[in-house]
């Protein structure tokens, strides 16, 4: 059924369809609407789950960790400082191979404090072992959460999946979303969670034991393999979803108008909408330009990205995050992927922009395209700075 | 006459078995055994990071014959909350005890927030704080439950210091302030009293807090054979009052049967030996005696 839904409503509705048994969250802007809707569903009996109202994000993640270890499906959501506060637990959940699904309503990190959107929060957890998928719009946010459970709970994966959704831009914006009418179809796509090892009084196991130097590195190697091998599971989850529900927004990546393109803009999340509008216009005027959407940031689809970019001239990478002391994160990883395949014919132009909710406008994107055609290799340049503010004392 | 000598086979059948790497004389491992004897096999346990977790679960070995999970240092109570929630929603809670465990640091310092949340939300969880008065697992550093004038490696006694210069945080009163159904303080010096309290928790729904005094051989610096004796002297001197409280009100106390001066308790332990060197130390011992006297008066221990 087609509905006009706020991003948060779309997400909470798809979580309802996935039927988690334990939900735990701590309020933080811009995640709040998601968990408010879920609380209401529990209060109305529309979702039969325990909603545990915790005193912190650290405990929210710990509650779903404990519940997940009992073999039940779980959900949590957070943003920014909340995610950083959870970080220790997310690493732990990944290390214990528990299929927790969480939404990150992407938001800038402090200081200065900002409630507005960028991706510095989820990027900080890129090495945690959690799978990171990034949604472009509300429809994809809806579909991606159901796929997230399918991926997380695959016996060969068994990892937390973080669904990244741009705060405010998606969470607080209304769009047309086509929802699934029958929960039975979701149950068919997403069978009940069946974990091999759980906290069960009839079959006792010890979880989270001490890993001495003689065993530790092997557990991390297996974790590394699990997330690397989840690529095919992510692809299958997207294909199966298309087959069952007729919706497809890409799997690991999603190329847009890339055939014959000389210049390609690479990005993640809601900014892709603006980029695609610009590209549509330029295509009409005959410019050979395309878009590459990165849908899975972890596992990082290095081979797929290389394959998509290897024949182009200019790659423009737009990212709403920065690795302080290095520069771009996505641009660095794309450069690494190209280098690994010994491709040095692509000019990689990496820009850091949109931090703390600064709008990325069509005009900005036109400008970047012109710049890219004139110059070679920009690495993690801050774009769109107000020079007047740079020398001011705050 | 000894009637209950356990064979090796018997101990392997226990829910918390032999073979762990706890120190000789470790009172914490004694407490765990006593608790598990009462709770039985229908128990799911969490442990915070700390001695117990390290000495009982060196992969691939584990001393736990019940489902057990360790996550992090500060979240034992939150993980237990999640387990309880999962059992409730799946209809598996009836007849199952969720046991959440941590040391004094994991309880009263870094884990206090998660514990307060678990109390306030009313989870049906038995929380046990094994109180050995310092961060023993990392090498005897001071915690909020380190007693007054105790030497620890981060509150050492020195030329101008008698060690820890703050009184022990009164954690049971913090638990009681949450008006939870049951709070109790027990000691490995009195195993029957301890087990009686654990048994009582089985009949109470909601959050239960049990704090147990567990002397620590290397941290307190005494001979292993004194573990039980020192725990008893803590109670008999009035320094570790044993009591029960329901919904924030004290309902019973374990009376002191043979009162001893605090000196008897202090002198057996290396962590207090600096108090026995000079007159100034004597004055400090008087201050500790005052703490015991106040406990005796407050709880009516005589």
Q: What is the pLDDT of residue B12?
A: 76
**DSSP label of B253:** E
Q: How far is A96 from chain B (nearest CA, A)?
A: 9
Where does chain A have alpha helices with state H? 7-18, 32-43, 57-69, 80-95, 120-123, 138-152, 183-189, 216-245, 271-284, 302-309, 330-340, 362-374, 387-390
Interval A247-266 mean pLDDT = 97
pLDDT in tens, A316-340: 999 999 999 999 999 999 999 999 9
Sequence-ordered list of residues with C-beta below 8 angstroms from that of B162, at least 6 positions apart, any chain: B149, B274, B275, B280, B281, B284
Q: In chain A, which residues have their Cβ closer than 8 Å to the Cβ of B67? A: 198-201, 203-207
Q: Does B183 touch chain A (CB under 8 A)?
A: no
> In this complex, which of B43, B62, B85 lies closest to A67 when CB atoms are compared?
B85
Q: In chain B, which residues have their Cβ closer than 8 Å to the Cβ of A128? A: none
Instruction: Write the DSSP string, A148-187.
Output: HHHHHTSTTT---EEEEEETTTTTT-EEEEE--S-HHHHH
Q: In chain A, which residues have their Cβ closer than 8 Å to the Cβ of B75? A: 58-59, 62, 65, 89
Q: Does B20 touch chain A (CB under 8 A)?
A: no
Q: What is the pLDDT of residue A381?
A: 94
> In this complex, which of B57, B74, B120 lies closest to A206 when CB atoms are compared?
B57
Distance from chain centroid for Cα A240: 20
Instruction: Name the CATH topology of B10-299.
Output: Rossmann fold (3.40.50)
Answer whether A62 sits within 8 Å of B71, measured CB to CB: yes
Q: How far apart are CA B19 and CA A202, in angstroms?
A: 23
Q: Does B46 touch chain A (CB under 8 A)?
A: yes
Is A370 buried (19+), middle (13-18) or exposed (0-12) by CB count in 10 A?
A: exposed
> In this complex, which of B42, B87, B114 lies closest to A70 when CB atoms are compared?
B87
Q: Does B68 touch chain A (CB under 8 A)?
A: yes
Is the four-CA dihedral B149, B154, B157, B161 of positive or negative sign?
negative
Answer whether B113 sits within 8 Å of A54, measured CB to CB: no
Strand partners, B211: B129, B185
Strands A263-267 and A314-319 come out as parallel
Q: How far apart are CA B45 and CA B61, in angstroms?
A: 17
* Four-CA torsion A218, A223, A227, A229, nearest 10 degrees: 50
Q: What is the pLDDT of residue B50?
A: 97
Answer whether A55 sits within 8 Å of B116, measured CB to CB: yes
> In this complex, which of A24, A200, A215 lies closest to B82 when CB atoms are compared?
A24
Strands A174-178 and A2-6 come out as antiparallel
Q: In chain A, which residues have their Cβ closer than 8 Å to the Cβ of B65? A: 204
Residue of B nearest to A219 (CA): B59
Residue of B nearest to A94 (CA): B71
Q: What is the pLDDT of residue A162?
A: 98
Q: In chain B, which residues have their Cβ closer than 8 Å to the Cβ of A211? A: 59
> Interface pTM (ipTM) of the complex?
0.96
Q: How far apart are CA A245 and CA A239, in angstroms?
A: 10
Q: In chain B, which residues have their Cβ closer than 8 Å to the Cβ of A48? A: 89
Q: How far is B121 from chain A (nearest CA, A)?
A: 8
Confidence of residue A132 (pLDDT cuts 50, 70, 90): very high
Q: How far apart are CA B180 and CA B244, in angstroms?
A: 12
Answer whether B75 sits within 8 Å of A89, measured CB to CB: yes
Q: What is the pLDDT of residue B2?
A: 52
Q: How far apart are CA A154 and CA A204, in angstroms?
A: 23
Q: Does B94 touch chain A (CB under 8 A)?
A: no
Whose tokens are 């997400």? That residue is A11
Q: In chain A, which residues have their Cβ closer than 8 Å to the Cβ of B74? A: 58
Residue of A nearest to B66 (CA): A204
Answer whether A89 sits within 8 Å of B90, measured CB to CB: no
Q: Does B82 touch chain A (CB under 8 A)?
A: yes
Answer whether B86 sits within 8 Å of A49, measured CB to CB: no
Helix (H), strand (E) at residue B118: helix B112-121
Mutation for A interface: B68, B72, B82, most A CBs within 10 A: B82
Residues A175 and A5 sit within 8 Å (Cβ to Cβ): yes
> In this complex, which of B70, B82, B90 lies closest to A209 when CB atoms are compared?
B70
Number of Cβ within a 10 Å radius of residue A242? 14
Residues B285 and B260 sit within 8 Å (Cβ to Cβ): no
Answer whether B83 sits within 8 Å of A67, measured CB to CB: yes
Q: Does B100 touch chain A (CB under 8 A)?
A: no
Residues A188 and A128 sit within 8 Å (Cβ to Cβ): no
Sorted by where each starts, the structural domains of chain A and their CATH numbers stand as 2-245 (3.40.50.970), 253-390 (3.40.50.920)
Q: How far is B62 from chain A (nearest CA, A)?
A: 7
Q: In chain A, which residues have their Cβ closer than 8 Å to the Cβ of B93? A: none
Residue of A nearest to B70 (CA): A208
Number of Cβ within a 10 Å radius of residue A245? 17
**DSSP label of A31:** T
Q: Mean pLDDT of all residues in chain A?
A: 97
Q: How far is A135 from chain B (nearest CA, A)?
A: 28
Mutation for B interface: A50, A51, A59, most B CBs within 10 A: A59
Q: In what order do the strands lie in the sheet with A74-78?
A: A50-53, A22-25, A74-78, A101-106, A161-166, A131-134, A296-298
Q: What is the pLDDT of residue A394?
A: 65
- Across chain B, which has 302 residues, the per-10-residue mean pLDDT values are 67 87 96 97 98 94 96 98 98 98 98 98 98 97 98 97 97 98 98 98 98 98 98 98 98 98 98 97 98 98 97
Six token digits for residue B301: 């221990």
What count of CB pairs under 8 Å joins A to B? 153
Would you kindly state where each structural domain of chain B is located, as residue ranges? 10-299
Residue of A nearest to B110 (CA): A58
Q: How far apart are CA B132 and CA B106, in angstroms?
A: 11
Answer whether A72 sits within 8 Å of B42, measured CB to CB: no
Q: In chain B, which residues have their Cβ closer than 8 Å to the Cβ of A206? A: 57, 62, 64, 67-69
Residues B131 and B219 sit within 8 Å (Cβ to Cβ): no
Whose tokens are 């970047």? That residue is A368
Six token digits for residue B48: 């915070």
**DSSP label of A355:** G
Instruction: Write the DSSP string, A216-247.
Output: HHHHHHHHHHHHHHHHHHHHHHHHHHHHHHS-
Strand partners, A382: A352
Mutation for B interface: A63, A99, A128, A222, most B CBs within 10 A: A63
> In this complex, which of A54, A198, A210 lies closest to B57 when CB atoms are compared?
A210
Answer whether A53 sits within 8 Å of B121, measured CB to CB: yes
> In this complex, which of A59, A74, A199 lies closest to B78 when CB atoms are compared?
A59
Six token digits for residue A83: 């995610």
Task: Look at B7 and A188; give whichever has higher pLDDT.
Answer: A188
pLDDT in tens, A336-389: 999 999 999 999 999 999 999 999 999 999 999 999 988 778 889 999 999 999
Q: How far is B174 from chain A (nearest CA, A)?
A: 17
């Amino acid at each position: 059924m087609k509905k006009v839904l706020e991003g948060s409503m779309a997400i909470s509705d798809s979580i309802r369809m996935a039927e988690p048994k334990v939900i735990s969250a701590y309020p933080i802007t811009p995640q709040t609407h998601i968990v408010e809707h879920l609380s209401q569903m529990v209060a109305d009996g529309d979702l039969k789950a325990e909603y545990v109202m915790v005193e912190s994000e650290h405990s929210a993640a710990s509650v779903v960790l404990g519940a997940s270890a009992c073999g039940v499906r779980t959900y949590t959501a957070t943003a920014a400082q909340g995610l950083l506060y959870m970080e220790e637990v997310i690493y732990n959940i990944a290390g214990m191979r528990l299929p927790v699904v969480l939404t990150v309503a992407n938001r800038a990190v402090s200081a200065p404090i900002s409630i507005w959107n960028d991706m510095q929060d989820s990027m900080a957890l890129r090495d945690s072992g959690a799978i990171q998928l990034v949604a472009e719009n509300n429809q994809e946010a809806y579909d991606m959460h159901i796929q997230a459970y399918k991926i997380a709970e695959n016996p060969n994966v068994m990892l937390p999946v973080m669904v990244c959704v741009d705060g405010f831009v998606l969470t607080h914006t209304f769009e047309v979303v086509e929802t699934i009418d029958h929960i039975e179809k979701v149950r068919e796509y997403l069978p009940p969670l069946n974990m091999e090892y759980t906290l069960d009084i009839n079959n006792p196991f010890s979880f989270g034991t001490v890993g001495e130097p003689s065993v530790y590195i092997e557990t991390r190697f297996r974790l590394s393999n699990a997330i690397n091998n989840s690529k095919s599971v992510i692809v299958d989850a997207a294909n199966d979803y298309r087959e069952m529900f007729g919706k497809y927004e890409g799997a690991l990546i999603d190329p847009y108008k890339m055939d014959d393109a000389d210049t390609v803009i690479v990005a993640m999340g809601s900014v892709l909408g603006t980029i695609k509008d610009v590209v549509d216009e330029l295509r009409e005027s005959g410019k050979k330009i395309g878009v590459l959407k990165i849908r899975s940031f972890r596992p990082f689809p290095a081979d797929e990205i290389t394959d998509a970019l290897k024949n182009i001239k200019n790659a423009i990478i737009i990212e709403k995050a920065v690795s302080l002391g290095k520069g771009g994160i996505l641009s660095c990883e794309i450069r690494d992927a190209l280098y690994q395949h010994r491709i040095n014919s692509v000019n990689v132009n990496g820009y850091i922009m949109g931090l703390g909710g600064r709008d990325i406008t069509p005009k900005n994107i036109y400008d970047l395209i012109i710049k890219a055609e004139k110059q070679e290799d920009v690495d993690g340049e801050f774009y769109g700075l107000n020079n007047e503010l740079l020398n001011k004392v705050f | 006459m000894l009637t209950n000598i356990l064979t090796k086979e018997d101990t392997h059948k226990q829910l918390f078995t032999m073979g762990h790497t706890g120190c000789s004389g470790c009172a914490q491992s004694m407490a765990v055994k006593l608790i598990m004897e009462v709770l039985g096999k229908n128990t799911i346990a969490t442990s915070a990071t700390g001695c117990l977790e390290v000495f009982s679960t060196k992969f691939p070995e584990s001393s736990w014959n019940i489902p057990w999970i360790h996550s992090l240092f500060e979240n034992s109570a939150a993980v237990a909350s999640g387990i309880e929630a999962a059992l409730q929603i799946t209809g598996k809670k009836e007849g199952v005890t969720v046991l959440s465990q941590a040391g004094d640091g994991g309880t009263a310092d870094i884990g206090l927030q998660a514990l307060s949340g678990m109390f306030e939300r009313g989870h049906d969880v038995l929380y046990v704080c094994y109180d050995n008065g310092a961060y023993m697992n990392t090498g005897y550093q001071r915690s909020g439950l380190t007693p007054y004038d105790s030497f620890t490696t981060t509150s050492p006694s020195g030329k101008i210091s008698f060690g820890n210069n703050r009184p022990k945080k009164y954690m049971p009163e913090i638990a009681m302030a949450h008006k939870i159904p049951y709070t109790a303080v027990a000691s490995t010096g009195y195993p029957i009293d301890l087990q009686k309290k654990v048994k009582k928790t089985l009949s109470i729904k909601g959050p239960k807090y049990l704090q147990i005094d567990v002397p620590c051989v290397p941290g307190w610096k005494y001979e292993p054979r004194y573990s039980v004796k020192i725990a008893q002297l803590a109670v008999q001197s009035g320094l570790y009052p044993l009591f029960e409280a329901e919904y924030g009100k004290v309902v019973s106390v374990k009376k002191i049967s043979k009162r001893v001066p605090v000196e008897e308790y202090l002198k057996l332990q290396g962590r207090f030996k600096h108090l026995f060197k000079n007159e100034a130390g004597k004055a400090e011992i008087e201050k500790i005696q005052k703490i015991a006297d106040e406990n005796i008066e407050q709880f009516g221990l005589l």
